Amino acid sequence: MTNEQIQALKAADPKRIAACVKACEGISTENLTNNVPLKQGLAGLNKRIRDAETQRDELLAEHDADKALIASQAKRIAELESQRQLAFMACNRWADKFREAEAKLGSRTLTVKLPESIPCPTAPEIIWLQTNGDDSDESKWPESDDDVSWFREKIFTNDTLYVRADLAAAGINLVVEE
């Protein structure tokens, strides 16, 4: 120690010196002169800093991956929305065409007032009218009513279907299987 340091020690507050001695109690002189506790503390602090930096880098990488995934999903959502809009427009076009076809069919609807009748409850619901008596392609009414007959089942390809009037008036839909 130099004279100046010794003089500084003498001038120092004895209570402060006593507090320093007490604080260093149990620490070897070698550790005090080589600053081992400080070096150990700094080494631990440096490790914590490196660990925090590693964690930061990992979180940034995850954040970048999440941003890329979000961008990809946003692009897919935009594609699906575009497809939905196209499908919606196509549905609207088909609905318009359906309404047009319905209007055309509605204008072709034949309305017939059926006469009052008391049907025979055992009469068949449908009959097939035979007008030619063969499978010819003729679709004309025969010259004589004697050439007309009917049957419960279709016999010839040019037979004409008839539905019992009370069923037709009631709006009952009949499905005829061939």
Q: 3-state DSSP call for residue 160?
A: strand
With 90 as the cut, is the pLDDT of residue 58 above it?
yes
Identify the pLDDT of residue 28. Answer: 78
Q: What is the pTM of this model?
A: 0.34
pLDDT digits (tens, 9 = 90+) for 83-106: 999 999 999 999 999 888 877 776
- Which string of b and e fits 122-132 if b means at least 16 CB within 10 Å? eeeeebbebbb
Q: Classify burial at 106, counting beta carbons within 10 Å of its beta carbon; exposed 0-12, middle 13-18, buried 19 or more.
A: exposed
Average pLDDT, the chain: 81
Sheet with 149-151: list strands edge to edge.
149-151, 126-130, 160-163
Tell me which DSSP letter residue 116 carries. Answer: P
Length of the chain: 178
Instruction: Give the residue, 74 or 159, on which the prediction is more confident.
Output: 74
What phi, psi does 55 have (nearest 5°)?
-60, -40
Q: Of all residues in the chain, what percent carry a pLDDT higher than 90? A: 27
User: Looking at residue 74, what is its pLDDT?
Assistant: 95
